[in-house]
Amino acid sequence: MNRDGHDHDDASHGHDGDHDHDASGHSRGGGSDRGHDHSHDHADHDDTATCGCDDGCDTATAPDSVSDGPSASASPDGSDEGRTLRLSVPEMDCASCAEKVTKSVRGDAGVREVDAQPTTGTLYVRFDGAETDDDAVRSRVERAGYAVADTETATFSVPEMDCASCAGKVENALDGVAGVTERQTQPTTGEVTVTFDPGTASRGELVAAIEGAGYAVEDGDGGDSPRDVWRTPRARKTGVGAVFLAGGLVLEFLLPGLDALLAAPAGYEIHAAWVLYTLAVLLAGIPVLRNGYYSAKNASLDIDLLMSAGILGAMAVNMPFEAATLAVLFSVAELLERFSMDRARNSMRELMELSPDTATVRRDGEETVVPAEDVAVGETVLVRPGDRIPLDGVVTEGTSAVDESPITGESVPVDKSPGEEVFAGSIVEEGYLEVEATSAASDSTLSKVVEMVEDANREKTEAERFIDRFARYYTPVIVVGAVLTAAVPPLLFGDPFREWFVRGLTLLVVACPCAFVISTPVSVVSGITSAARNGVLVKGGQHLEAMSDVEVVAVDKTGTLTTGELGVTDVVALNGNDSTEVLGCAAAIESRSEHPIAQAVTAHAADRDVPEREIRDFESITGKGVKATLDGEVHYAGKPGLFADLGFDLEHAHVATDGGERTDGSRVSSDPRSDGGQMVEDARDCDHGSYLDLTNEVIPRLQSEGKSVVLVGTEDEIEGVVAVADTVRPEAEWTVSRLRELGVSRVVMLTGDNERTANVIGKRVGVDEVRADLLPEEKVEAVRELTDEHESVAMVGDGVNDAPALAAATVGIAMGAAGTDTALETADVALLSDDLTRLPYLVDLSSKTAGVIRQNVWASLAVKGVLTVAAPLGLITVATAIVVGDMGMSLGVTSNALRLAGVEPDAAASDDWGGSGSEDGNEGTNGNADGDDLRDAAA
């Protein structure tokens, strides 16, 4: 029973009750920061509902934070209990070693948890910082007989590393450096990340190793524009080489009379065209030969080695035209591949550039422009109209509309005023803001998004793993075929050597799997960065790939299908009062309460500009409601039982028949047919006009729609009824419908709310199945059942309270994750804005990404297959093999992948659902978009 008399009907707080609680029982859910007065909860609720939640509380805690280096970091809740230390213990390489280390470390009384991983030589220790420290834990490891190796991580920009073959050479070179414990190459971003022991290796040695593989290490991102590649020395040399090649063609085929014989050493004829071809090889082919040298040095059978062998072989048998053609066209192909890859990388650079490099801060009373990374937490940042906000923070002064689309993807600017949170990268549309920085530049939401997008690109999809396996066999087989093509016919059948050598050389060109290998990663990069720009953070290509196969979407209710915030849905004015008077009276009495229902009533009155009224002698009537003196008369607000105790006949409450007001303030007709629903039948005629049966008809009907009911009145009359409920998101129904259009076979609601309320909302939004009264562990079991039945299931929740269920799903999707560290960490996909329309967008994008990947892979396979057959038959030339099989396909798959950048959230979404809700978007769970005033029923 509720102390201040609010009838919760098990759903009045507007929450699914799966909040995560700490030991003290305080809610740590990721929804609203709204104060929750536990004294308002029903006394007869069981322990799982004492926080005022609807479906039980989740006691699971967020995972502990793990530091990137050897130092400890605090847990998300800020306590020392969760500090975690990660140590590199290379000599701990077996289960016995791990057991010894674990036993020794656990001997420290402050240690809470030990996780030894001998496969990686890594030790994770969670400890209480008040009882022990880093050095004590290290000492325990060393006492077990194992040395702790501190490591550093460095990231290098290697723009020329733009294919899997290039990455392989860099990896081989780094593997030869002592002290390197881990290396990750990302051709799609042109970056190499190396984890190493600084006591054994230095950054200089790492740079030397990378450059020793034939790739320059550059500062920054390697260029401001993809077009910069055409201004490089290699591009200029290739251009001149192409001119010499063209000149040789003119002399040899168009003006043979001018192609003079210059020399004939040892019968080796050197014509003028030969000289031009050779110059073309020297200019355009030297970079190719250089890379081929490094490939041979690193024992890497890749395209550079194959092309180098082809160029040198052609020159050796006096075929300068073929050598020059190979050198020039392959160099052009490499430049085009670099250009195409830079276009894909540019989408990542655009994300990084959203946050400004500098910030204007107030120091010692003066404005100072400083680098954004130098701004300390707590400093005041000044942001003027048109500027981007440089760091996450809280507005302390000023008001302005802020464009948060770079972070959330939401195109409509959001009004910000003092006390409200803002994100780095957002644009101040108008006005002036002073913002107190709440995080360092490196810890902003945007920085985390960029970092996670970069990390996501490191994860290989199933398609990429298949391609890698295929490429390992494809290239050697084709190389062997090329050698046999060039050697067998001349040696065994006496066929012309030159003809079969050219055929073998052509097949050698076809052996390069570059276009095939980059077809998937470039698609994944384009898809993930496109999603990030639209407020959807996909934390790995495998998750984007998995979303395309999702058959069932399981959706939490509170905070997902509903807003998670209570709103007034109906006002029933009785005994000649109008809805404004009823609402004003209710708001005045409830103004002293902090209960969510009270806050919903007062907020609704404020939105309708209902005049404020002063009260005095406020008093809580335990278990029934509240009373206060208003305009000299005692008024009551509370449960129906309170008014029954006051002697009112709730089965006979008089109403007027002159029309009334909807909750949106517009007039409604007194015509009974205008109600359009069953409530018309609630009106009864009597000697004094018309009346409603509150006890048996009105109140039960409102409660059946998941609403909480509050009666308002004096000692002499009941003035009216106010109904409050968690409001359905106006886009929820459209979202469910759109998911079906995109191929999702079932949409299932999973909620801890009571079955009656859940069924009302489920019917309203159109889900296929409702599972209610679920505890957090039962939600997990429900997801597992759906996964067993349908194989691929996506779960959508708040990312904190629903973390276990998200983890159990094929793809876990967190709603409204911007600024929520835990949600960003736990979910596979995070919808940064609180907008359900991003869910169909995610499904659409994943499906199109999967389609592009299939197109790229099968097109590459088909082209390579045709060329592989045509080359030995002499049906194609070396130039055709390069232009079509290498340069053309690389450019084609990249351009096809970049189309994903054009996939946007459905522009018609707002048109489709905007009219179905109330004018203010505050739609009740009953599905009555207008929130009809039940006075109409009396007419």
Q: Looking at the annotation, which residues are catalytic?
A: 556
Is 803 strand, coil or helix?
A: helix
Of 851, 848, 814, 844, which is closest to residue 735 (Cα–Cα)? Answer: 844
SS3 926: coil
- Compute the distance between CA of residue 798 and CA of residue 806 in angstroms, rounded to an integer: 9
Burial of 269 (0-12, 13-18, 19+ CB in 10 A): exposed
Beta carbons of 718 and 648 less than 8 angstroms apart: yes
Instruction: Judge whether 605 and 16 are in contact, CB under 8 Å.
Output: no
Spatial CB neighbours of 568, under 8 Å, sequence gap ≥ 6: 583, 600, 601, 604, 663, 722, 723, 724, 922, 931
- Side chain identity at 56, as an amino acid letter? G
Enter the DSSP assignment of 21.
B
**b or e along 105-133 (b: 16 or more beta carbons within 10 Å of the residue's beta carbon)?**
beebebbbebebebeebbbbbbbbeeebb
Under DSSP, is residue 110 helix (H, G, I), strand (E, B) or coil?
coil
Residue 125 backbone phi and psi in degrees, to 5: -130, 125
Amino acid at position 459, single letter = E
Match 């994750």 to its residue by tokens.
Answer: 817
Nearest to 428 by CA among 437, 436, 417, 438: 417
What letter would DSSP give residue 608? Answer: T
* Residue 761 φ then ψ, to 5°: -70, -40
DSSP lists the bridge partners of residue 401 as: 415
Distance in angstroms between the alpha carbons of the first and the last residue of the chain: 35
- Whole-angstrom distance, CA of residue 163 vs CA of residue 81: 45
Residue 722: CB partners within 8 Å, gap ≥ 6? 568, 570, 571, 572, 582, 583, 586, 601, 709, 710, 711, 712
Distance CA 70, CA 86 (A): 5
The answer to whether the Cα torsion of 722, 57, 750, 754 is positive or negative is negative
Closest CA to 562 of 844, 723, 758: 758
Angle formed by the axes of helices 514-533 and 445-458, nearest 10°? 160
- Contact in structure between 306 and 882 (CB atoms under 8 Å): no
Please, are residues 137 and 108 in contact by the beta-carbon 8 Å criterion?
yes
| Residues ≥6 apart with Cβ < 8 Å to 5 | 621, 623, 624, 625, 626, 637, 638, 639, 642, 710
DSSP assignment of 688-748, as one string? TEEEE-IIIIIHHHHHHTT-EEEEEEESS-EEEEEEEEEEEPTTHHHHHHHHHHTT--EEE
The whole-angstrom separation of Cα 726 and Cα 685 is 33
- Residue 658 class from Cβ within 10 Å (0-12 exposed, 13-18 middle, 19+ buried)? exposed
| 89 contacts 121 by C-beta, under 8 angstroms | yes
Q: Coil, helix or strand for 932?
A: coil
